[in-house]
Structure 1
Amino acid sequence: MTLTRKLLPLLAILATSHAHATDGYFAHGYGVKSQGMGGVGIALPQDALAAAANPAGMGLIGDRADIGVTWFRPQRESEISGVGPGVDGKYDANDAENFIIPEFGYKRVINPDVTLGVSVYGNGGMNTDYKKAIPLFGNTAPRMDLIQLFVAPTATWKINESNTVGVAVNLAYQRFEIKGLQNFASPASAHPDNVTNKGYDSSYGAGVHIGWIGRVNDAVTLGATYQSKTYMSKFDKYKGLFAENGDFDIPETYGLGIAVKATPALTLAADVQRINYGDVDSVGNSVNNLFINGQQLGSKNGPGFAWKDVTAVKVGASYAWNDSLTIRAGYNHASQPIRSGETLFNILAPGVVQDHATLGATYVLPNQSEISFSYMHAFEEKVKGSGSIPFIPGAEANLKMYEDSLGIAYGWKL
């Protein structure tokens, strides 16, 4: 455990680098190939990052290793109205706007029925870096930085010729820092000295991810996956901010997928994924717990971001142009996690994008290794506040965001 605690922070810096994700705060897909197909992967494993979507997929990809990197550029903006001069106006949250997100996967066949591997990936995160102070929050420019890393050792078993199951132990690491929330210390917090400007704090935890992939016939494959809540140690430095004295677990997810070999060259795939943000109090509790019910920040029923559970629908297509070139495209739609009445705290976490269009390609090199590319655009989305600043009647906080990413990965068969 001591070695793990030393390695995970280093891996987090290498593998997440302050990401802001897209299906809420989860990534739209894991692995460059999946990212180019709208994020599908529950029934269509394509590389050694497959365990992130469905651990069973690691049993169907052969011996291989993959390493990649994605350039990610979210554009975040908030607007406050109805408060008065010196507060009303637009606030740019892009003082930091370009992020690099690496990924890594490795898998080996142990015998014809058993495989072992590991996928290392950034689960997601939230980042805002405002260029000026927001007077409702404090006297310095607010900045929030949350990153989450999964290291997922994975084993798969081939039950028969048509069915494979897999299990991954998700070893998770989080790193968090926030600045500029001086106005939410005393008396709003149960621990006023542990709300803001405390530097980075770390959190560790674990969960389980299980999955199944079954081949119905030569054309149709189905998949199912369940990932438990990842129970994390508390952010002690920020026990006055997050509910339950600094608790910030990673929510459970589950999903179904299908892949169809429509022609020898064309594969179509679709996933439906559910992310239960509302089951994590620090994410799901309402700000009204503070302003209406009098529950302080950091208390058992303290306020959070009031995110709703998210359903993400992903569709993608892959076409083998020839023996060397495969091209991909996809679309991803996620339900809106942020209610119009809960935009105030979400100035810090404006994860409002819902629709993502993707493109991708893989080129096989002469040595049979391969290089893959992906592009994603998350279309601009706005959430306008409605009764969103409860202590100032008629005042509102509005959110706006769009994103772009570009990924490249190198994979080789072992």
Structure 2
Amino acid sequence: MTFQISALRAATLIALGLTALSAHATDGYFSHGYGIKAKGMGGAATALAQDGFAGANNPAAAAFAGNRFEAGVDLFMPDREMSRSGTGGMLDTRVRSDKRAFLIPELGYNQDLSPRLAAGVTVYGNGGMNTTYPGGQLNCGQGPANALCGSGQLGVDLIQLVVAPTVAYKLNERHSVGVSPLLVFQMFKAYGLEGFGGMSVDAAHLTGSGYSNSTGLGLRLGYMGKLSERVSIGASYAPKVHMSRFKAYAGLFADGGDFDIPENASVGIAVQATPEVLLAADYQHIGYGGVPAIGNAATAGPLGGTPGGGFGWKNIGVVKLGVQWQMSPRVTLRAGYNRSENPVTAANITPNVLAPGVMKSHFTLGATHALSPRSELTWSFMHAPRVSVSGPSLLAGTETVSMRQNAIAIQWGSRF
């Protein structure tokens, strides 16, 4: 027990340190899955209890997961590009974001406290508003400028770290409920946006202020039911997390730097089709449109105002499908498909040069290899083909943003 708690503390510190390297941009800026087993199955996990990531997927799953600890890291490799045409050559450009590899750590811990009560903690991250475009390719009338007519490099970086303590209770042998308080820490920086100073209510807090921090407290609720020996269902809901403002970017985000985390909900089903084959399916709703900084139209008002201009993201639905095959006592194989609606709209293309969260299809593979009766090694691979969105630029002509992604992840797990 003492060893497990010490391992948890050490892994949490590692996750806190490595989160500064992270970036996501799959289902909007949420990951396509949490926990490497879920990642290998297209993210489907709401009706499953096979790891310690209940705090990210479904808190009620902790009641059935048993005593276990997992720590993993995902090497996420997005390839992002923007272009502008139709300006008569004055502002035409094509640039590619420089940084194209990020480490994303995550960990989960779960322990039975009694036959009916379990507790644990999940540490995971979100992100994806991360771009680093080179500068100096344009002349907007005041010397060398970047693609949005600012000075030097152009880009943003959003990091969200969530620590989710979890408690789950078995109502009876087949049904459980759970709750996870969400302790959220955010970091954000933007640079190269001087060209939009005239559109901000506070140009001094628009760009180039380094990282600004934000904190908030949220909640995730969950239910899991085993309808039979072969069929399980699950549901999870997290209301919008109200975050403190990014004070250094009060002239960028709507409502003076406010950047909340959108509400999200999932339902899922898992079917043990044969003794060796498990099928799982989830549907997830993410309410990006309910957060003004994300959902407001680019022309809703001045940057930083109320209402203020935003990224124009719409609410999305995500379908997650996965299959798991117990090939042998030591090897489990997985595959999945994740289909997300695209939150980015053509009418709001210019701000999404900074945050091209346009992905739709994600194809996944994975496997778990038993190292011993109590330890295992899990890996996953994800490929998301390139998606492009074009629309009228706020500067001139037509802009296009595009992205494709690959990710390779590995996780060590232990049962105790």
TM-score (norm 1): 0.93
CA offsets 1:118-157 (integer angstroms, 9 cap, x no match):
0000133321011234343412220210011110000000
The correspondence for 1:203, drawn from 214, 227, 246, is: 214
The correspondence for 2:46, drawn from 37, 42, 45, is: 42
C-alpha separation in 2, matches of 1:239 and 1:206: 21
The correspondence for 2:57, drawn from 53, 61, 66, is: 53
The reply to whether residue 156 of structure 1 matches residue 160 of structure 2 is: no
Are residues 357 and 119 of structure 1, via their aligned partners in 2, closer, same or farther at CA, if it must alter by over 3 Å? same
What residue in structure 2 maps to residue 3 of structure 1? none
Unaligned runs of 5+ in 2: 1-10, 137-145
3-state secondary structure, aligned to 1:405: strand
The correspondence for 1:369, drawn from 371, 375, 394, is: 375
**Aligned-CA RMSD value:** 1.6
What residue in structure 1 maps to residue 192 of structure 2? 180
The correspondence for 2:314, drawn from 287, 303, 308, is: 308
CA offsets 1:24-63 (integer angstroms, 9 cap, x no match):
0000000110000000110012211132011111111110
What residue in structure 2 maps to residue 345 of structure 1? 351
Q: Does structure 2 retain, via aligned residues, the 8 Å contact 1:125–1:148? A: no
What residue in structure 2 maps to residue 244 of structure 1? 255
Question: Mapping of 1:98-113 within 5 angstroms?
Answer: 98-113=101-116
CA offsets 1:184-213 (integer angstroms, 9 cap, x no match):
12x311111000000111100011100001
Instruction: State the identity %.
Output: 43
Q: Which AA in structure 1 matches 2:412?
A: Y
Q: Does structure 2 retain, via aligned residues, the 8 Å contact 1:214–1:223? A: yes
Q: Does structure 2 retain, via aligned residues, the 8 Å contact 1:106–1:119? A: yes
Residue 22 of structure 1 and its aligned partner are, at CA, apart by: 0.3
Are residues 228 and 8 of structure 1, via their aligned partners in 2, closer, same or farther at CA, if it must alter by over 3 Å? farther
Q: Does structure 1 retain, via aligned residues, the 8 Å contact 2:267–2:282? A: yes
The reply to whether residue 138 of structure 1 matches residue 150 of structure 2 is: yes
What residue in structure 1 maps to residue 408 of structure 2? 406
C-alpha separation in 2, matches of 1:271 and 1:190: 42
The reply to whether residue 230 of structure 1 matches residue 241 of structure 2 is: yes
The reply to whether residue 281 of structure 1 matches residue 292 of structure 2 is: yes
Deviates more, 1:142-151 or 1:361-370: 361-370
Q: Does structure 2 retain, via aligned residues, the 8 Å contact 1:73–1:405? A: yes
C-alpha separation in 1, matches of 2:268 and 2:187: 31
Are residues 372 and 402 of structure 1, via their aligned partners in 2, closer, same or farther at CA, if it must alter by over 3 Å? same
Residue 11 of structure 1 and its aligned partner are, at CA, apart by: 4.5
The reply to whether residue 96 of structure 1 matches residue 99 of structure 2 is: yes
The reply to whether residue 324 of structure 1 matches residue 330 of structure 2 is: yes
What residue in structure 1 maps to residue 303 of structure 2? 297
C-alpha separation in 1, matches of 2:161 and 2:128: 9
What residue in structure 1 maps to residue 5 of structure 2? none
C-alpha separation in 1, matches of 2:17 and 2:353: 25
Unaligned runs of 5+ in 1: 1-6, 290-294
C-alpha separation in 2, matches of 1:16 and 1:53: 23
Are residues 8 and 247 of structure 1, via their aligned partners in 2, closer, same or farther at CA, if it must alter by over 3 Å? farther
CA offsets 1:148-173 (integer angstroms, 9 cap, x no match):
11100000000011101110000001
Q: Does structure 2 retain, via aligned residues, the 8 Å contact 1:222–1:258? A: yes
Q: Does structure 2 retain, via aligned residues, the 8 Å contact 1:65–1:411? A: yes
TM-score (norm 2): 0.93
3-state secondary structure, aligned to 1:193: helix
3-state secondary structure, aligned to 1:128: strand
Residue 351 of structure 1 and its aligned partner are, at CA, apart by: 0.7
What residue in structure 2 maps to residue 28 of structure 1? 32
C-alpha separation in 2, matches of 1:246 and 1:171: 20
C-alpha separation in 1, matches of 2:14 and 2:112: 28
C-alpha separation in 2, matches of 1:124 and 1:197: 19
C-alpha separation in 1, matches of 2:324 and 2:305: 49
What residue in structure 1 maps to residue 4 of structure 2? none
How many residues in Structure 1 have an aligned counterpart in Structure 2? 397
C-alpha separation in 2, matches of 1:195 and 1:136: 14
Q: Which AA in structure 2 matches 1:298?
A: G
